[in-house]
Amino acid sequence: MSVLDSKVPKGPLKTKWTDYKNHIDLVNPANKRNIDVIVVGTGLAGGSAAATLAELGYNVKTFCYQDSPRRAHSIAAQGGINAAKNYQGDGDSTYRLFYDTVKGGDYRSREANVYRLAEVSGNIIDQCVAQGVPFARDYGGLLDNRSFGGVLVSRTFYAKGQTGQQLLLGAYSAMNRQIARGKITPFNRHEMLDVVKVNGKARGIIARNLVTGEIERHSAHAVVIASGGYGNVYFLSTNAMGSNVTASWKIHKKGAFFANPCYTQIHPTCIPRSGDYQSKLTLMSESLRNDGRIWVPKNMEDVMAIREGKKKPTDLSEDERDYYLERRYPAFGNLVPRDVASRAAKERCDAGYGVNATGEAVYLDFASSIQRYGIEQAKIHNIENASKEKIYELGAAIVKAKYGNLFQMYEKIVDQDPYKTPMMIYPAVHYTMGGVWVDYNLMTTIPGCYAIGEANFSDHGANRLGASALMQGLADGYFVLPYTIGDYLSHDIRTGKIPTDTPEFDAAEKEVTDRIEFFINNKGEHSVDYYHKKLGKIMWDKCGMSRNAEDLKTAIDEISALRKDFWKNVNVPGTTTEYNEQLAKAGRVADFLELGELFAKDALVREESAGGHFREEHQTKDGEAKRLKEFQFVSAWEYKGEPKDAVLHKEELVYENIEVKERSYK
């Protein structure tokens, strides 16, 4: 394996970023207009990076497969964005945000990157307020904060339950300003299908116009990948159905290393799966755990009565309920980190206490909060001897003000009123902590190719704390990449325009065209979704929360066989010269199949439990295999201090690009 250089500056953590910025090379403002940058993906990371780079004077091209950057999946983020402002006066600081993030990631994050993230977090809030993002405010008009899992302070800024949407609109507005100035050229409904390297450097991409099918060549002095995560390798996830790994995987195939691909966040508060017909899962924001209490019945008789419809959850008294997170983790209660909450929910359901028909659901109950807020509001309004109905009305109004759109969404999907009956939730695949390896500059192992936001691996270790995804995306785009990319581009001020009529562009376009022609002409037996669903089942059953060596080896073999069958029997209808969603999906699933195998190989060599994944090995006794039925590990988060062996986990597990040989179209 090649020697990796993370380029982390020397010196104390708290001065690394400042000293580094003081000494890196810069590009003269007059020279920036001669340099082109391609940004693939226009969510929070890509949109903020594109707007900032264009504001600095670079010529930027943006690419997204959606019809508008406003439809990037960042819009789906609900709960909030972290920043160490300490507005609540409860002891927050840059160091505490840094420490919580590293600890929450089971000590597998790169600490220099995380400290920088914490350091610039406050600037993000100032930037977004200046853009007009309507963050929630308290009675006095100051910005409000709420708590998220894994921390003992309130540092999460929010805009009701639609924070991602409001932040994305801010970045999109900044992009539009640059589009109007001619500094950003947007290519919507375009998908990057390969990166082009010239003399070892990333110098452009091959993209497909998804409306016309035309294959296009685009050159630049640097390429930025901001295409999000790959949770849809599981088929069912909280990601938008179009979210994919293709951009990251294409640069991986051209030499960009992957790090920690198997670290996937299993989010604890999602609407449970209801059947095999589903195409995606729906997230309920972690912010709901501020006011919702998680429980299952204590007695199996009550569990069965609820499943059979003989009892309602509201029929059970407090003594008949097991508030298992409050029982196990009294200091944090329902606000434990996501991985801890997810493992605990799975353990209760595996033990038979799941409350829906499939046995895969626990309750998230707001009755206590509605009662508490109602009593408080009655006192504020000088209502003496308020009736139960009045207390409920006043309390429900407060909960509605904080989470109304989330409750509305839940009711539309489940057809139950969460104000009157507890929500049902269950863990589901959400965010991917692994991704493309990057150095301190956010550059991949391909010179001139950068990866930012969820597409890279560096900040979250084995588990991302809630409300940190938006923070990382905007930190990378607004405040990190615009500095670090200048150090690289300062050597390109005399390069001139990168031509596209070169052998490197010819070869890349031919490879893309051959692959597309193969899909259209193959005329196999099965649809693309047939393979995607099969892959997803393998991934969830054998590479999900519970993992063991035997199942992971089986998964590697099964994915390899599925991939071979895919190239032999996939059927893609339509033509190449039209809007053809099945054709686009075929390429994405082909990449998922390759990623899935690497994912399983990564999980196999990790014999420790980390994040939302616990490693349970088969033990043989009297010739029968049995699995451990309890969680036989303690995560780094659950230690009272830093675990003694934490140093063993700070090295990244990195993979060079792998050659996939089972391509029948070659």
Q: Which residues form the catalytic set? A: 338
Residue 112 pLDDT > 80: yes
Residue 2 pLDDT > 70: no
At 4, is the pLDDT very low, low, confident or very high (cuts 50, 70, 90)?
confident
Amino acid residing at 29? P
Per-residue confidence (pLDDT) for residue 274, from 0 to 100:
79
Residue 664 pLDDT > 60: no
Higher pLDDT pick, 167 / 661: 167
Q: Of the ranges 61-65, 437-441, 482-486, 621-625, which one carries the lowest mean pLDDT score?
A: 621-625
The fraction of the chain above a pLDDT of 90, given in percent, is 83
Per-residue confidence (pLDDT) for residue 654, from 0 to 100:
67
Q: pLDDT per residue over 443-491, tens digit each?
A: 999 999 999 999 999 999 999 999 999 999 999 999 999 999 999 999 9
Per-residue confidence (pLDDT) for residue 637, from 0 to 100:
38
Residue 215 pLDDT > 60: yes
CA 154-116-108 angle, 5° bins: 80
Write the Ramachandran bin of 516: left for phi over 0, alpha for psi from -120 to 50, otherwise beta. Answer: alpha
Amino acid residing at 428? A
Is residue 273 packed enough to be buried (19+ CB in 10 Å), middle (13-18) or exposed (0-12)?
Answer: middle
Find the distance separating the first CA and the last CA of the chain, reported in whole Å: 27
Residue 379 pLDDT > 60: yes
Q: Of the ranges 276-285, 473-482, 558-567, which one carries the lowest mean pLDDT score?
A: 276-285
Residue 270 pLDDT > 90: yes
Is residue 631 packed enough to be buried (19+ CB in 10 Å), middle (13-18) or exposed (0-12)?
Answer: middle
Q: pLDDT per residue over 628-663, tens digit each?
A: 333 333 344 343 344 333 333 344 566 655 444 333
**Chain center to CA of 265:** 8
Per-residue confidence (pLDDT) for residue 97, from 0 to 100:
96
Residue 622 pLDDT > 50: no
Mean pLDDT, rounded, for 173-192: 98
At 227, is the pLDDT very low, low, confident or very high (cuts 50, 70, 90)?
very high
Q: pLDDT per residue over 68-98, tens digit each?
A: 999 999 999 988 999 999 998 999 999 999 9
Mean pLDDT, rounded, for 260-272: 93
Q: pLDDT per residue over 129-148, tens digit each?
A: 999 999 999 888 899 999 98
CA 210-212-215 angle, 5° bins: 75
SS3 598: helix
Per-residue confidence (pLDDT) for residue 276, from 0 to 100:
74
DSSP element (H, E) containing 561 = helix 549-569
Name the strands in the sheet holding 184-188, side by side, starting at the edge strand that comes first in the sequence. 184-188, 59-64, 36-40, 222-225, 449-451
Residue 118 pLDDT > 50: yes
Q: Of the ranges 242-251, 274-283, 555-564, which one carries the lowest mean pLDDT score?
A: 274-283
Per-residue confidence (pLDDT) for residue 140, from 0 to 100:
87
